[in-house]
Each structure stands twice: as structure tokens, then as C-alpha cells.
Amino acid sequence: MKMTPVSSSNLASVGYDSATRTLHVEFRSGAVYEYYDVPEAEYQGLIDASSKGSYFHQNIKDRYGYRKIG
């Protein structure tokens, strides 16, 4: 999956697979998580947000199933 670097104090990069609706999030700590059944509009909202970290915590973190992959 292609990861896109983002400007954030908490997030390093994000990637999205529209076929599986899977969002990958790499944190500045180096941890990588994948989130399941995330609508593409939610990914676009994250990319477009002025504060990526705030958007992630308010709209994604506790709303979707996830697992740590790295």
C-alpha cells in the first residue's frame, strides 16, 4: 500500500485501500495500525484536515476495528 507522508506531530503517514476499505496509519513512534471498513470519505477527511491528529482521534480511532501490524 502506498503511504502518504502527512504533516502532524502524532501521525507520520497514512494509506488507504479502497477495494478493502482499509486505512493504514503510521505513527511518529514507528507503530503501524490498520483500520477496517473505513469509508473513503473518512480517509479523505483525514487527508484534508488541518489537524490530522485531532481528526484521527475524533473520527477514526475508536470507531473502527483495528490491529497493530508494525
Domain ranges for the chain, please list them.
Answer: 4-68
| DSSP H or E run through 54 | helix 52-59
Contact partners, residue 13, CB within 8 Å, separation at least 6: 3, 4, 5, 6, 25, 26
SS3 label, residue 52: helix
Q: What is the pLDDT of residue 33?
A: 98
Tens-digit pLDDT profile for residues 6-41: 999 999 999 999 999 999 999 999 999 999 999 999
pLDDT at 1 over 90: no
SS3 label, residue 64: coil
User: For the chain, first and last CA: distance in Å?
Assistant: 14
